[in-house]
């Protein structure tokens, strides 16, 4: 039998990506398009505002120098140089420490993989949303005192092209594999664990030897159960986060891929699932505590959640489909905004 050609594979991928969307999915797409338009307008306004501010400060500086004598002018200029030098030194020191942490994680850190083999099932908008999530995951990991050893597997084709558009991506301290995770870890297949809400196995502890896999797929509910099916076919273990043991997710609210990564990072630091969930999952995505015993405590903690909304990992741009306990760690939904935290993450990625 003749082997399938590259063109035939592309046709299959195109037809899969072009699968008709439901009415709800179309509404979400229209909402996303309206948001993108507003975001572009806001970005242009912010750019113009920064330009005006820079011009205002420049004029103030020139006027200040013009109104003092030569000796005072020299002193002010020298003082400004010293302040700039101190800022650059501090930034360089912080960057150096971050690089050290990430390099150390490559040797002894917890392996966390983002599976990018679903790229052919997504359109360009969905791919872009997934890239935003990956960028945020990298930035959050870099800020952690105990970062994970991050991997991107199945990174090729259009997915790779999207990632290469990120300024500074070539300098990221992260493993970039065009091979699948099965090939990349062929000698450690017994340690592979796919995180999916369809699993019956609850993840009580993180095994240092385990390699935890998070599926990257903006599926708009078209590909339910695909990560569980993939793991079964490959004969690898599966697990799900114990969210249901500590809280209940509100109706049709989901976790983002970066939130799942951040939950794992928080647990690595605190060894406390409940604390990790409450620090990362926004209040609007929670409806009540998992048991009556902790309902009162849930209410107390929920009162502080407005502040938590401003913390890293509180975005809605790529949602993960829910499982029975409101958790899905296999696919992302790209529909909402790029937050201020993500813009900060973007700057940190570029600096690295």
Residues 137 and 93 in one domain: no
Is 59 inside any structural domain?
A: no
> Tokens 């939130």 appear where?
259
Closest CA to 163 of 139, 137, 130, 123: 130
- Sign, CA dihedral 192-195-197-202, equals positive
Residues 178 and 275 in one domain: yes
Is 80 inside any structural domain?
A: yes
Closest CA to 338 of 320, 315, 309, 307: 315
Distances (CA, A) of 248 to 83, 190, 283, 287: 50, 32, 11, 6
Q: Give the span between the Cα atoms of 83 and 62, in whole angstroms.
A: 18
CATH number at residue 178: 3.40.1280.30
Q: 48, 78, 108: which is the final residue of a domain?
A: 108
pLDDT, position 220:
57
Is 36 inside any structural domain?
A: no
Residues 184 and 97 in one domain: no
Taking the alpha carbons at both ends of the chain, their separation in whole angstroms is 49
Residues 212 and 299 in one domain: yes
pLDDT, position 147:
94
Residues 224 and 87 in one domain: no
Is 37 inside any structural domain?
A: no
For the chain, how many structural domains are there in total?
2
Q: What is the pLDDT of residues 2-43, one digit of tens each?
A: 444 444 444 444 444 456 778 887 887 888 788 888 888 988
Residues 142 and 76 in one domain: no
pLDDT, position 134:
94
Is 99 inside any structural domain?
A: yes
Task: Give the residue numbers spanning the domain of 92.
Answer: 68-108
Residues 247 and 208 in one domain: yes
Q: Which residues are known to be catalytic?
A: 219
Low pLDDT (below 70) residues in the chain: 1-19, 219-221, 251-254, 287-352
Is 172 inside any structural domain?
A: yes
Residues 83 and 213 in one domain: no
Q: Give the span between the Cα atoms of 187 and 14, in whole angstroms.
A: 33
pTM: 0.66
Closest CA to 16 of 252, 217, 235: 217
Structural contact between residues 135 and 349, judged by C-beta atoms closer than 8 angstroms: yes
Is 42 inside any structural domain?
A: no
DSSP bridge pairs for 240: 202
Q: 108, 136, 164: which is the final residue of a domain?
A: 108
Backbone angles phi, psi at 151, to 5 degrees: -130, 145
pLDDT, position 333:
41
Is 169 inside any structural domain?
A: yes
């Amino acid at each position: 039998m003749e082997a399938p050609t590259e063109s035939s594979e592309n046709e299959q991928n195109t037809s899969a990506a072009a699968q008709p969307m439901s009415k709800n999915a179309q509404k979400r797409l229209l909402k996303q398009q309206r948001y993108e338009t507003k975001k572009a307008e806001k970005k242009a306004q912010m750019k113009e505002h920064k330009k005006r501010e820079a011009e205002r400060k420049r004029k103030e500086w020139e006027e200040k120098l013009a109104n003092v004598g030569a000796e005072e002018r020299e002193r002010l200029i020298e003082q400004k140089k010293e302040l700039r030098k101190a800022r650059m030194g501090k930034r360089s020191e912080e960057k150096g420490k971050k690089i050290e942490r990430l390099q150390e994680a490559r040797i002894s850190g917890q392996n966390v993989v983002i599976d990018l083999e679903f790229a052919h099932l997504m359109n360009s908008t969905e791919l872009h949303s997934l890239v935003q999530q990956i960028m945020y995951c990298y930035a959050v990991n870099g800020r952690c005192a105990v970062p994970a050893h991050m991997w991107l597997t199945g990174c090729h084709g259009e997915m790779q092209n999207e990632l290469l558009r990120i300024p500074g991506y070539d300098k990221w301290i992260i493993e970039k594999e065009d091979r699948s995770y099965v090939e990349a870890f062929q000698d450690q297949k017994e340690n592979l664990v796919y995180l999916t809400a369809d699993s019956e196995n609850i993840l009580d502890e993180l095994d240092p030897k385990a390699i935890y896999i998070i599926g990257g797929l903006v599926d708009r509910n078209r590909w339910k159960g695909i990560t569980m099916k993939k793991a079964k076919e490959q004969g690898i273990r599966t697990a799900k986060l114990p969210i249901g043991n500590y809280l209940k997710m509100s109706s049709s609210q989901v976790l983002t891929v970066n939130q799942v990564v951040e939950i794992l990072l928080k647990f690595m630091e605190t060894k406390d699932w409940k604390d990790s969930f409450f620090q990362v999952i926004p209040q609007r995505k929670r409806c009540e505590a998992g048991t009556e015993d902790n309902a009162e405590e849930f209410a107390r903690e929920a009162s502080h959640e407005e502040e938590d909304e401003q913390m890293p990992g509180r975005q809605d741009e790529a949602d993960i489909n829910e499982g029975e306990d409101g958790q899905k760690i296999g696919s992302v939904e790209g529909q909402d905004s790029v937050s201020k935290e993500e813009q900060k993450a973007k700057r940190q990625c570029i600096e690295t």
